[in-house]
Amino acid sequence: MFLTGAGVSAESGIPTFRGKEGYWTVRAREYHPQELATHEAFEAMPWEVWAWYLYRRAICRNAAPNDGHRALVRAGTAWPDRFALVTQNVDGLHRRAGNADHHVLAIHGDIQQMRCARECVADRWQIPDAVGELGKGEPVSPAVKALLVCPKCTGMARPHVLWFDESYDEERYHLDTVRRIANEAALVVVAGTSAQTNLPWQVVTLGARAGATIVDINLEDNPFGEIAQKSGGVIRGPAAAALTAIVDRLVG
Ligand code: NAD
Ligand code: ZN
């Protein structure tokens, strides 16, 4: 079981939520991602939140998978029946690199998709190509607003992502599946995540409790590193090289 966070896509040029690049200005006020990636912010200023997502969606579309993503494709190919890739990343790079759809559990959603803001149905749809790409600070035009609607009820659509003030579930975010796999895993390799979200935390603690070997790859110390130190190992360095080395060693 591999668990990836924003650090794995950092080497593809997609900013993480930490540091200066994460901030976003709305009407002269700077917001931290943890304030904007919320249902509360979407209720208060939906088009400003959409503008932020459409800008980040454009960055993700223009990014390419790196060696870390490619290593995980090799792992999935080597162990087709006992491999799972749980990702917090919404950028779609694991699938674009070539991991099979059924191997990738995107527990925070997909920035290329939208669903009904009123949840009239659970379906999700690709954001239409005609939406195009938004530059930094560019507002959502009336023509684009008209495309960001639920095809079922014609109400406003929302990005298909899990916000900080929302809960995981199985239907949208694979909660039960991920917990089951964590309980059965022999090896959990965590890469590029700061341990600040709930389901990744469950993955690592459930895995450790069930006796799995835990490996933490990150540039910095973090709470997962403390667990990995006791039940596996810690690699302090860039994710692409570390994932390549681990998969090369395991796959041979
Ligand atoms: P985070 O931004 O909170 O933390 C990133 C972590 O990666 C940090 O611990 C940092 O030390 C580490 N890191 C940075 N560069 C690295 C590298 N080259 N190699 C190894 N480690 C590196 O990210 P998070 O914990 O994944 O989650 C925060 C939330 O942000 C999630 O909900 C996620 O969905 C969302 N997010 C997604 C993307 C994406 O899809 N690419 C990008 C930004 C944020
Ligand atoms: Zn609807």
**pLDDT tens, position by position, 84-98:** 999 999 999 999 999
The sign of the torsion formed by the CA atoms of 60, 61, 67, 70 equals: positive
Average pLDDT over residues 128-136: 94
17 lines ligand 1 (CB under 6 A): yes
- Minimal-distance CA residue to ligand 1 atom 43: 16
Q: How does pLDDT run across 28-66, given as a tens digit for each residue?
A: 889 999 999 999 999 999 999 999 999 999 999 999 999
N-term to C-term CA, the chain: 18
Say which amino acid occupies 94: H
Residue 21 is predicted with a pLDDT of: 76
- Minimal-distance CA residue to ligand 1 atom 39: 89
- Minimal-distance CA residue to ligand 1 atom 26: 5
Residue 187 is predicted with a pLDDT of: 98
Does the structure show a pLDDT above 90 at 245?
Answer: yes
Average pLDDT over residues 213-237: 97
Q: Which of 12-26, 146-160, 177-191 has the lowest mean pLDDT?
A: 12-26
Pocket test for ligand 1, best of 11, 17, 86 (most atoms within 8 A of CB): 17
Confidence of residue 22 (pLDDT cuts 50, 70, 90): confident
Residues 6+ apart with CB under 8 A from 165: 38, 39, 40
CA–CA distance from 203 to each of 122, 141, 170, 210 (Å)?
Answer: 25, 41, 15, 11
| Ligand 1 nearest atom to the CA of residue 17, by list position | 2
Cβ distance 211 to 36 under 8 Å? no
Expressed in angstroms and rounded, the spacing between residue 16 Cα and the centre of ligand 1 is 4
Characterize 166-179 residue by residue with b for buried, 16 or more Cβ atoms within 10 angstroms of its Cβ, and e for exposed: eebeeebbbbeebe
| Ligand 1 nearest atom to the CA of residue 18, by list position | 2
CA 246 – CA 72 distance, rounded (Å): 10
Average pLDDT over residues 150-179: 98
DSSP characters over 3-24: EE-HHHHHTTT---SSSGGG-E
pLDDT over 70 percentage in the chain: 100
- Has 94 been annotated as catalytic? no
Q: What is the pTM of this model?
A: 0.96
Does the structure show a pLDDT above 80 at 113?
Answer: yes
CA–CA distance from 205 to each of 83, 88, 171, 224 (Å)?
Answer: 19, 17, 23, 9
Number of H helices, E strands in the chain: 12, 11
Compute how many other C-beta atoms are within 10 angstroms of the C-beta atom of residue 147: 16
Residue 28 is predicted with a pLDDT of: 84
38 lines ligand 1 (CB under 6 A): no
Residues flanking ion ligand 2, Cβ below 5 Å = 116, 120, 150, 152-153, 155
Say which amino acid occupies 164: F
Structure tokens of 202?
């469950």
- Minimal-distance CA residue to ligand 1 atom 13: 7
Catalytic site residue from 103, 108, 160, 174: 108
The DSSP bridge partners found for residue 156 are: 149
Compute how many other C-beta atoms are within 10 angstroms of the C-beta atom of residue 193: 26
Phi, psi angle pair for 5, to nearest 5°: -130, -175
196 lines ligand 1 (CB under 6 A): yes
CA–CA distance from 127 to each of 6, 69, 146 (Å)?
Answer: 22, 24, 12
90 lines ligand 1 (CB under 6 A): yes
Say which amino acid occupies 163: W
In terms of Cβ atoms closer than 10 Å to its own Cβ (0-12, 13-18, 19+), residue 23 is middle
